[in-house]
Every structure is written in C-alpha cells, then in structure tokens.
Amino acid sequence: MAKKRVLLVNREFQFRYTLVAVLVGVISTCLSCVVILYPLYQFEILRIPAFLPIPILGVMVLAVAVNILFIWLIGIAVTHKLAGPMFSMARTLRRIEEGVWTGHLTIRKDDEMHYLVRSLNGMIDSITDACKSDLVAVRQLKDLINSLPASEDEAETLRIILEKLENSYEQRLLVDR
C-alpha cells in the first residue's frame, strides 16, 4: 500500500505564504491588464462599451478564480517542501531536548533545506561521539574506583556518582547495559 502524502504539514505556515503568493499573483495580473489595456484604450485602439455582457464578465471571473486556484495549489506544493523538513527538524530537536541524542534526520530528496539537515545531523553525530567518549571515561573511572577498598566512604560516594553518570549517558545514547 502506498504511503499517504500529507501536503498540509504546517497549515499556518503554508496558508500564510500561499496567501501571499495568491495576493502577488492577483496584483500582478491586475497590473499587467492595466499596463496592456490602458494604452490601447487611451489611443482608442480598443473601445470598451459602457457595460460588459454577462458572458464576458463570467469568463473574466472564471479566469480569476482559476488563476487563484492554480496559484494556491502550487503555493501549497512549494511550501510543503519547506514545511516538511521544518516539521522533521522540530521533532528531532524536541527529541534531543528530551535527552535522546542519537539518530539521524532524513528528508525526501526533493525537499528543501538539505544543508541545514546535514548540519543538524553533524551536530547530533558530534554530541553522540562526545557522549560515547565521556561514557568510556566514566566506565574507566568506575573500574578504577571498584578496585579500591569498599570500606572507604569517599570511594562509595564516587561509585554512586559514577553510576548515576553512567546511567544518564546510557539513557541518552540508548545504550543497553
């Protein structure tokens, strides 16, 4: 079964920018009509009757509606290529904020923001590598402290602290014991 493609990932973002595209399209269409028709009317090359017949008005309204619909659909499709990666990056950043520092973000090859996604993945790799290095150091310290006599209070306190650190790193790196 084919995966359902959701075009409206972030409605507010997509509608806001698509509305701007529609407004620009309508304004540019109106300006183009004025620039083309005004000189023709001014030099009496084109004569506009005092009233326009209903069929002509209907075709004009239909043309405007089709223009708006076309710009709207293209706007949603184009903003989807931005909204999708933004949604994925926000989800990945929330996961990092929750303490899970592993995994990579993947986006479709026709989406935008590949450079930013590569940078985010590089950051995740750096964090993961640093944490793995710290985890190795914590385990080495733990082994060193375990070789000390168990009766010393300081050694026991260090063991507890290192156990907490080790558990914290393992949880963030999703490491099994």
SS3 37: helix
Contact 84, 95 (CB under 8 A): no
Q: What is the mean pLDDT of residues 16-42?
A: 86
pLDDT in the model for residue 176: 57
Task: Identify the helix (H) or strand (E) that includes residue 62.
Answer: helix 54-97
Q: What are the pLDDT digits (tens) for 127-175?
A: 888 888 888 888 888 887 777 666 667 777 777 888 888 888 788 777 6
Q: What pLDDT does 127 receive?
A: 85
| CB burial string 98-116: b at 16+ within 10 A, e below | eeebbeebebeeebbbeee
pTM above 0.75, yes or no: no
pLDDT digits (tens, 9 = 90+) for 49-81: 666 677 877 888 888 889 889 999 999 988 888
- Could you say which DSSP state residue 111 is in? S
Return the H-helix or E-strand segment holding 25.
helix 11-42
Q: What is the mean pLDDT of residues 13-21?
A: 90
The average confidence (pLDDT) of the chain is 82
Q: Mean pLDDT throughout 42-55? A: 73
Which pLDDT does position 151 carry in this prediction? 63
Residue 4 near residue 50 (C-beta atoms within 8 A) = no
**Averaged over 22-37, what is the pLDDT?**
86
- For 114-130, write each residue's pLDDT tens digit: 888 999 999 888 888 88
Domain boundaries in the chain?
7-98, 103-177
